[in-house]
A and B are shown apart, each in its own frame.
Chain A
Amino acid sequence: MSLLAINDLSTHFRLPDGALRALDGVSLHVDAGETLGIVGESGCGKSTLGKTILRLVEPTAGAIAFAGDDITALPARRLAAYRRRAQMVFQDPFASLNPRHTIRKILTDPLIVHGIGGLKERRLRVEQILARVGLGPEALDRYPHEFSGGQRQRIGIARALILEPDLVICDEPVSALDLSIQAQTLNLLARMKADLGLSYIFISHDLSVVRYFTDRVVVMYLGRIVEEAPTADLWARPQHPYTRALMASVPDPAQGRRALPLKGDLPSPQDIPEGCRFHPRCPLATDLCRSSDPALRVAGSDAAHTVACHHA
């Protein structure tokens, strides 16, 4: 049984000028101890997916099961137990930490909300998690603005981990950090995973980071999964033309000026093309792609590698 299984999940938003299908029929699973990467560009639905899984945003259709329990329709008051086991680390550690609260309060509040421990146990847990993320007890009575971006992200990670969750959804956790701080943060996340036996959903637009940090990858485009594969396999045999273009677009210090991998602008999720959603930008597109929306199917011999393309 998977730790998390979502089936045909959709999240649509009603806007003044029409519906926005941010997430449109996505199925995936995360096994215990696994890191699943979600990659894609703006409007692909990756952040909405993360928020929908935690029910910070309500799904329009589909099902979310966590450790076998259906949590899709759980009433808000019964979500607490789920939220204790599934936590989130956000991109911008500054925006996600209350500037008026000390680090002690930021880390103690989740324990109080979930009724964990007495005064003494809470204090101990807070000090322990802070030490685990590499900050000393002198940090406890300070405020978020007194810390650097990298330190704030450590605090964000500590806050997510203090409840000892099973699953942590990391939404662009290193995108706002300088390069030299990114490596520190990724190493910390990897250490926490090994020490605490966590599973991660790692949402990122940065393919190099996803390749390093994930076990399996889902590539999204305009609210859909276009390809899914074990990480090494995706890089060895990318099948979808979008996956290939995405990989070719990443600037590489070892390569000089080169031809453009992909033409055309990203379409708006409010104006999703008919047929295959990628066809207006796709170098392989035919009439079939303009009329028929391809379903995910197994690509080649490995059942774990699937692709949604008529021509891949």
Chain B
Amino acid sequence: MSAPLLSSAAATLARPRSIAPLLEVANLRIAFGRQEAVQGVSFTLHEGETLALVGESGSGKSLTALSTLDLLPDGAAISGGTIAFAGADLAGLAPAARRALRGGDIGMIFQEPMTSLNPVMTIGQQIIEALRQHQRLSRRAARTRALELLDLVRIADPHRRIEDYPHQLSGGMRQRVMIAMAVAAGPRLLIADEPTTALDVTIQAQVLELIDRLRRDLSMAVLLITHDLGVVGQWADRVVVMYAGRTVEEGDPAALFARPLHPYTQGLLAASPRLEDSHHYTSGPLVEIPGSIASASGQPGCAFAPRCPQAAAACRIAPPPLRQWAAGRQVACPRVLPEDLP
């Protein structure tokens, strides 16, 4: 018998902090047939920490997150590496145990709450169902708990809202309901895949603040998948920048944005207009990263080399390994030389 995977939010608070990582992804590879979309990604995530995986489409960030949930799309499979959660290798778990983890110790929310919610069930029914899947609760107790959860995610008037159908809620409220369901079983890890991409900016700020408050109150770890550098800088403790299935740079967001090391990270930051700077189209064009990520396919060397202003001959031979540059800071570019050390 495996130990019970669940705990209530209250028990979560009493959980002892440990030094071992909660999630440890090592040299993960994910393939569609013979094409490897993720080519050796490693990172660790500790209790209470928010780690952001950032990248553009085709970077492999969502596949990486989905693989930890055993939710890879049809045709995709893990082709190498390991994923360990709370010290246990997921590959060694029976399918039933993996399923119990999902929605139990690992909660998840996605970009579009409308596609994850059942349109013909009230949100109350859906939260109650989620609760009873992982906890032994009477209907009545589950309803009480559902009301508490709606209150926890700051849905006003939960007694009325619990009878609503998804289409009666705004996009922001639907995402709050998804969050309530995701944290219903008191997860230790919340995986949030582009949770605010479909939301308006004032609502995005509210939802990100909510996720962060729950992370603290429930001592969860958060794995945040996003393409938005601003979101990363504001809410993440650590960031992994991905490009074409590999990590190109990892570090503390403030340090990374203040001094990006990889030419791709440098290019991304230079290419994005920033709210606080006064760069205007009349004073000159934005810095461009030429080409597109499509140029990475079939590359024997660094996937970014075809777009890289600093690429050398060696960059086109083998993909550069991720090297430690400073404490907590790694970069996969041979052009970042030791003399750059601070």
Binding site for B on A (CB under 8 A): 35, 41-42, 148-151, 178-184, 186-187, 190-191, 205, 207-209, 211-213, 231-232, 235, 245-247, 249-258, 260-263, 265-266, 268
Q: With an 8 A cutoff between CB atoms, is B228 at the interface?
A: yes
| B88-96, B285-293, B333-341 - the one binding chain A | B285-293
- Of residues 192 through 220 on chain B, the ones whose CB sits less than 8 Å from some CB of chain A are 200-206, 208-209, 212
B205 & A251 in contact (Cβ 8 Å cutoff) = yes
Indicate with 1 or 0, residue by residue over B100-139, a CB within 8 angstroms of chain A CB atoms.
Answer: 0000000000000000000000000000000000000000
B280 & A212 in contact (Cβ 8 Å cutoff) = yes
User: CA of A123 to CA of B293 in the docked complex: distance in angstroms?
Assistant: 31
A190 to chain B: which residues have CB within 8 Å?
281, 285
Known: A253-B230, A253-B232. A179 touches B205 (CB 8 A): no
A247 to chain B: which residues have CB within 8 Å?
275
B273 & A208 in contact (Cβ 8 Å cutoff) = yes
A251 & B272 in contact (Cβ 8 Å cutoff) = no
B228 & A251 in contact (Cβ 8 Å cutoff) = yes
- Of residues 253 through 281 on chain B, the ones whose CB sits less than 8 Å from some CB of chain A are 253-254, 257, 267-269, 271-276, 278-281
B290 to chain A: which residues have CB within 8 Å?
184
**Interchain nearest-CB distance for A197 vs B (Å):** 15
A179 & B286 in contact (Cβ 8 Å cutoff) = no
A258 & B272 in contact (Cβ 8 Å cutoff) = no
B293 to chain A: which residues have CB within 8 Å?
178, 180
- Of residues 31 through 83 on chain B, the ones whose CB sits less than 8 Å from some CB of chain A are 56-57
A265 & B170 in contact (Cβ 8 Å cutoff) = yes
In the complex, what residue of chain A is closest to B209 when comparing beta carbons? A260
* B268 partner, pick from A179, A184, A260, beta carbons under 8 A: A179
- 14 additional contacts (CB under 8 A) given A179-B229, A251-B228: A41-B202, A179-B272, A180-B267, A184-B288, A187-B288, A205-B200, A212-B279, A212-B281, A249-B202, A251-B231, A252-B276, A261-B202, A265-B170, A265-B172
User: CA of A35 to CA of B276 in the docked complex: distance in angstroms?
Assistant: 20
B57 & A178 in contact (Cβ 8 Å cutoff) = yes
In the complex, what residue of chain B is closest to A258 when comparing beta carbons? B234
Q: With an 8 A cutoff between CB atoms, is B165 at the interface?
A: no
- B-side binding surface: helix, strand, loop or mixed? helix
Q: With an 8 A cutoff between CB atoms, is B294 at the interface?
A: yes
**Interchain nearest-CB distance for A33 vs B (Å):** 11
User: CA of A200 to CA of B171 in the docked complex: distance in angstroms?
Assistant: 30
Closest 3 CB pairs of A and B: A253-B233, A251-B230, A212-B273
B274 & A232 in contact (Cβ 8 Å cutoff) = no
A251 & B233 in contact (Cβ 8 Å cutoff) = yes
A254 & B200 in contact (Cβ 8 Å cutoff) = no
Known: A246-B201, A260-B205. A183 touches B292 (CB 8 A): no
Known: A183-B288, A209-B273, A251-B234. A262 touches B281 (CB 8 A): no
User: CA of A256 to CA of B234 in the docked complex: distance in angstroms?
Assistant: 4
A183 & B202 in contact (Cβ 8 Å cutoff) = no
User: CA of A265 to CA of B175 in the docked complex: distance in angstroms?
Assistant: 12
In the complex, what residue of chain A is closest to B290 when comparing beta carbons? A184
**28 cross-chain CB contacts under 8 A:** A41-B201, A149-B57, A180-B268, A180-B271, A180-B288, A180-B289, A182-B271, A183-B271, A211-B273, A211-B280, A212-B280, A246-B202, A251-B204, A251-B208, A252-B234, A253-B230, A253-B253, A253-B274, A255-B234, A257-B234, A260-B205, A261-B202, A262-B202, A262-B206, A263-B206, A265-B172, A266-B170, A266-B200
Q: A35, A209, A212: which has the most chain B beta carbons within 10 Å? A: A212
B272 to chain A: which residues have CB within 8 Å?
179, 182-183, 208
* B254 partner, pick from A179, A180, A211, A256, beta carbons under 8 A: A256
User: CA of A255 to CA of B233 in the docked complex: distance in angstroms?
Assistant: 7
B287 to chain A: which residues have CB within 8 Å?
183
Known: A183-B287, A184-B288. A265 touches B203 (CB 8 A): yes
User: CA of A65 to CA of B119 in the docked complex: distance in angstroms?
Assistant: 44
A208 & B234 in contact (Cβ 8 Å cutoff) = no
B212 & A257 in contact (Cβ 8 Å cutoff) = yes
B212 & A42 in contact (Cβ 8 Å cutoff) = no
Q: With an 8 A cutoff between CB atoms, is B173 at the interface?
A: yes
User: CA of A119 to CA of B289 in the docked complex: distance in angstroms?
Assistant: 37
Q: With an 8 A cutoff between CB atoms, is B227 at the interface?
A: yes
B273 to chain A: which residues have CB within 8 Å?
186, 208-209, 211-213
A180 & B228 in contact (Cβ 8 Å cutoff) = no
In the complex, what residue of chain B is closest to A260 when comparing beta carbons? B209
